[in-house]
């Protein structure tokens, strides 16, 4: 089976956010594999182990994303592709990303593509379903379980807490939700092996794309931090008095009762 | 410049979700005096729901009733709505950022080769441009975005953009449209409903949420009572859901629901970033936690350091007393 994972390199979940010159300050920030994409990598490896085939992890980004790709290889993916846009493109949005991925998948004959449900930084959740539409693949979002039998996939998906059971057929794109699995940590031998696994680097030129083809449809005009929250009031004193004070504050100061 | 804007409505258990009305209000801003057209998919008689959208500001509503649209499938809905888009040629589309909105709108945008701004919490017209504000980095920052080319397409986060006042003197056309649905590639075999009595967390004004500190399913009882006296509903952290104290349909956060109530009372919740992503924009946050160092106190407006099993019953009594005195 020809299995692909879409992986985004994101800021570490715990990273503090600061703005410098109108941009998110990334100096010294720690980066991780987008957590929902870790579920995708784990599931891809499990599908391969059960059905055979290869797992290819794909990311669009710059050279620094090699680290996250190597981590996915160390977890057990077979090969990685870095589509490096650093020298060619300044701006991009979800339309851009999907245009590039569409071109990439043109001749790849994917049986299944696993993406994250959402990236924890920009968090649009668009890339998976957008790509499925371009590739004319059936698409199931926010999955928490998948079993494949021949060309048929039986899937459970999370719909605002309800569980929807669906059946569909390959080729297929799914987006992964928390609950799907517990991603493994790369093992030491895994890390050693990952260093020798193939990592292909492509530029948009290699995908027969030009800058104009991928021009974004949206633009960010400002980034700002939420208004600094005044330090909350932690109440003190006898518990009975604290509760009385709280109710009174909610009523007269916060005006929510 | 005035525009024709399409609002994709959403019904649940026979009534429209509030976010549909909020989407009409947002569409009204985007349309700048142009026409707001609603579209609603489902089965059975949709005319009363279409009428309701008119009372909230849609000038025309296209309803598509079809057995194939009884439950949402992305193939079914996107086919039906695509036909309406082809017919109406809107210059804008607005929908709620709900499970259905998140699944459907990227596909439509991709098909239309258009931009899409997801999960907007504010929409304003600024000097001829429509500017959307949306949270990024789990709510740790915000960005203002605009569409630079083509269709003004966005989803809005529930409970952030106020709906217009319902006005049943408004009149508009409700048009039933027939659509042939073919090629649904995903078959829904079963839906296991977990949501409790139809309360839509994302639209609640008051939420009392419990975490791992609640310790058991029974531990949620005082929280439910507090929610009741406040006219609100109960939510939970992932910790509480994973521990089996409550159902995943109550989960709030990055993986669960994103809520913006007027009052959020977090009991026995530590305040992990993934939880904050789902509730930090609440208007007023109260934290009850026995650990004074818990991160939840960093986002709380008011905090009580203490045992929730002591604090919550006292709160219930105090609020009851306040109501009696009022
Ligand atoms: C050339 C270029 C320039 C860009 N410039 C900027 C910029 O200046 N500022 C800015 O904030 N953003 C920029 N972006 C990123 C872009 O705006 C979005 O972040 C990106 O399209 C992903 O959208 P999202 O973060 O909403 O991901 P979502 O749609 O929420 O992600 C869902 C899933 O899609 C997959 N996915 C998402 N992104 C990628 C990726 N890059 N590679 C592989 N799989 C992916 C993952 O599986 C992920 O879990 C640029 C992108 C490109 C291609
Ligand atoms: C990809 C990903 C997505 C996630 N998505 C979500 C999400 O959507 N929502 C979410 O909530 N989490 C999410 N999480 C999990 C999150 O990281 C935390 O693990 C989770 O929120 C912890 O839940 P909790 O606060 O209930 O439990 P804990 O962190 O265990 O906190 C329990 C708290 O209760 C307090 N306590 C204990 N007893 C009492 C008492 N008697 N009285 C008062 N206080 C008491 C303790 O002091 C402690 O602060 C996600 C994690 C990942 C990796």
Q: What CATH number does residue A152 fall under?
A: 3.40.50.620
Tally C-beta pairs within 8 A across A and B. 247
Domain contains A219: no
Q: Is B212 annotated as a binding residue?
A: yes
Distance (Å, whole) CA B203 – CA A151: 40
Distance (Å, whole) CA B153 – CA B94: 6
Residue A228 has pLDDT above 90, yes or no: no
Fold of B201-325: Rossmann fold (3.40.50)
Q: Output the CA torsion A117→A120→A121→A126 (10° steps).
A: 10
Q: What pLDDT does residue A141 have?
A: 98
Domain total of chain A: 2
Q: A44 and A115 share a domain? A: yes
Q: A118 and A232 share a domain? A: no
CB nearest to B141's CB, from A24, A134, A164: A24
Q: A208 and A237 share a domain? A: no
User: From the CA of A255, how far away is ligand 2's center (Å)?
Assistant: 28
The residue whose CA is least distant from atom 43 of ligand 1 is A59
Domain that residue A163 falls in: 2-214
Whether chain B has a CB inside 8 Å of the CB on A182: the answer is no
The architecture in CATH of the region B5-176 reads 3-Layer(aba) Sandwich (3.40)
DSSP states of B128-185: TEEEEEEEEGGGTEEEEEEE-SS-EEEEE-TTTSPPPPP-TT---EEEE---------
Q: A126 and A244 share a domain? A: no
Chain A residues 124-153 with CB within 8 Å of chain B:
124-134, 138-142
Domain contains A221: no
By C-alpha distance, the chain B residue nearest A132 is B107
Q: Are A156 and A144 in contact (CB under 8 A)?
A: yes
Q: A71 and A134 share a domain? A: yes
Would strands A218-224 and A112-116 be described as parallel, antiparallel, or unpaired? unpaired
Q: A108 and A203 share a domain? A: yes
User: From the CA of A245, how far away is ligand 2's center (Å)?
Assistant: 27
Q: What pLDDT does residue B113 have?
A: 97
pTM: predicted TM-score of the whole model, two decimal places:
0.97
Q: Do the domains spanning B5-176 and B201-325 agree at the CATH topology level?
A: yes
Q: What pLDDT does residue B195 have?
A: 67
Residues of chain A contacting B277 with CB distance shorter than 8 Å = 120
Q: A159 and A118 share a domain? A: yes
Residues of chain A contacting B280 with CB distance shorter than 8 Å = 226
A123 contacts B119? CB cut-off 8 A:
yes
Q: Is B192 annotated as a binding residue?
A: no
The domain spans of chain B are: 5-176, 201-325
Which token pair is B178? 């027939």
Distance (Å, whole) CA B138 – CA A12: 11
Q: A118 and A66 share a domain? A: yes
Q: A146 and A250 share a domain? A: no
Closest CA to B134 of B151, B146, B126: B146
Q: Is the dihedral of CA A47, A121, B200, B70 positive or negative?
A: negative
Q: What pLDDT does residue A210 have?
A: 94
CB nearest to A162's CB, from B75, B193, B318: B193
Domain contains A133: yes
Domain contains A222: no
Burial (CB count <10 Å: 0-12, 13-18, 19+), residue B191: middle
Q: A88 and A175 share a domain? A: yes
Give the start-end residues of each E strand in chain B.
5-8, 11-12, 15-16, 36-42, 60-65, 92-96, 117-120, 122-126, 129-136, 141-147, 152-156, 173-176, 187-192, 206-210, 233-236, 263-267, 284-289, 302-305
| Confidence band, pLDDT 50/70/90 cuts, at residue A161 | confident
Distance (Å, whole) CA B69 – CA B92: 23
Q: For residue range A19-57, list pLDDT tens digits in order.
A: 999 999 999 999 999 999 999 999 999 999 999 999 999
Whether chain B has a CB inside 8 Å of the CB on A196: the answer is no
Task: For chain B, 326 residues long, give each residue's pLDDT as a single digit of tens.
Answer: 799 999 999 998 889 999 999 999 999 999 999 999 999 999 999 999 999 999 999 999 999 999 999 999 999 999 999 999 999 999 999 999 999 999 999 999 999 999 999 999 999 998 889 999 999 999 999 999 999 999 999 999 999 999 999 999 999 999 999 999 998 999 999 999 876 665 789 989 999 999 999 999 999 999 999 999 999 999 999 999 999 999 999 999 999 999 999 999 999 999 999 999 999 999 999 999 999 999 999 999 999 999 999 999 999 999 999 988 87
Which token pair is B181? 């649905």
Q: A249 and A210 share a domain? A: no
By C-alpha distance, the chain A residue nearest B156 is A124
Which token pair is A26? 């990334």
Backbone φ, ψ for residue A228 (5° rounding):
-50, 125
């Amino acid at each position: 089976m020809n299995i692909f994972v879409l992986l985004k390199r994101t800021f570490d979940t715990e990273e503090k956010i600061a703005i410098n010159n109108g941009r998110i300050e990334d100096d010294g920030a720690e980066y991780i594999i987008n957590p929902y994409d870790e579920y995708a990598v784990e599931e891809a490896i499990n599908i391969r182990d059960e059905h055979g085939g290869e797992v290819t992890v794909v990311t669009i980004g710059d050279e620094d994303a090699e680290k996250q790709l190597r981590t996915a290889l160390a977890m057990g993916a077979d090969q990685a592709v870095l589509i490096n846009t650093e020298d060619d493109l300044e701006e991009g949005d979800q339309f851009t990303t999907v245009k590039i991925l569409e071109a990439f998948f043109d001749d790849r004959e994917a049986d299944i593509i696993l993406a994250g449900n959402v990236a924890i930084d920009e968090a649009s959740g668009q890339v998976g379903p957008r790509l499925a539409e371009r590739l004319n693949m059936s698409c199931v979002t926010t999955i928490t379980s998948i079993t494949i039998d021949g060309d048929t996939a039986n899937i459970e998906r999370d719909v605002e807490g309800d569980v929807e059971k669906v059946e569909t057929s390959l080729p297929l794109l799914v987006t992964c939700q928390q609950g799907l699995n517990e991603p493994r940590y790369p093992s030491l031998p895994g890390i050693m092996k990952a260093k020798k696994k193939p990592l292909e680097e492509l530029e948009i030129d290699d995908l027969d794309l030009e800058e104009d083809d991928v021009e974004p449809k949206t633009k960010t005009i400002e980034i700002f931090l939420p208004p600094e929250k005044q330090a909350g009031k932690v109440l003190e004193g006898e518990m009975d008095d604290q509760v009385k004070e709280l109710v009174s504050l909610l009523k007269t100061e916060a005006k929510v009762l | 410049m005035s525009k024709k804007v399409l609002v994709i409505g959403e019904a649940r258990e026979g009534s429209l979700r509030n976010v549909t009305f909020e989407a009409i209000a947002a569409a009204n801003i985007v349309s700048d005096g142009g026409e707001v057209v609603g579209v609603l998919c489902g089965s059975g008689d949709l005319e009363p729901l279409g009428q309701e959208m008119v009372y909230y500001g849609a000038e025309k509503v296209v309803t598509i009733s079809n057995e194939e649209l009884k439950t949402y499938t992305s193939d079914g809905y996107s086919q039906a709505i695509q036909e309406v888009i082809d017919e109406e040629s809107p210059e804008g589309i607005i929908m709620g950022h709900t499970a259905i909105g998140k699944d459907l709108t990227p596909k439509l945008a991709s098909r239309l080769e258009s931009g899409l701004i997801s999960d907007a919490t504010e929409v304003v017209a600024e000097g001829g441009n429509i500017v959307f504000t949306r949270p990024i980095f789990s709510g740790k920052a915000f960005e203002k975005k605009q569409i630079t080319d083509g269709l003004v397409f966005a989803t809005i986060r529930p409970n952030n953009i106020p709906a217009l006042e319902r006005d049943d003197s408004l009149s508009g056309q409700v048009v039933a449209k027939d659509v042939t649905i073919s090629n649904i590639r995903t078959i829904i075999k079963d839906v296991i409903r977990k949501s409790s009595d139809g309360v839509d967390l994302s639209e609640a004004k008051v939420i009392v949420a419990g975490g791992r500190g609640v310790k058991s399913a029974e531990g949620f009882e005082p929280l439910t009572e507090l929610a009741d006296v406040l006219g609100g509903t109960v939510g939970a952290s992932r910790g509480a859901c994973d521990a089996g104290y409550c159902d995943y349909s109550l989960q709030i956060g990055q993986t669960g629901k994103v809520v913006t109530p007027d009052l959020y009372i977090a009991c026995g919740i530590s305040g992990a970033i993934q939880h904050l992503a789902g509730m930090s924009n609440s208007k007023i946050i109260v934290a009850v936690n026995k650990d004074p160092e818990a991160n939840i106190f960093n986002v709380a407006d008011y905090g009580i350091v203490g045992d929730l099993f002591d604090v919550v019953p006292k709160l219930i009594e105090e609020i009851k007393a306040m109501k009696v005195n009022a």
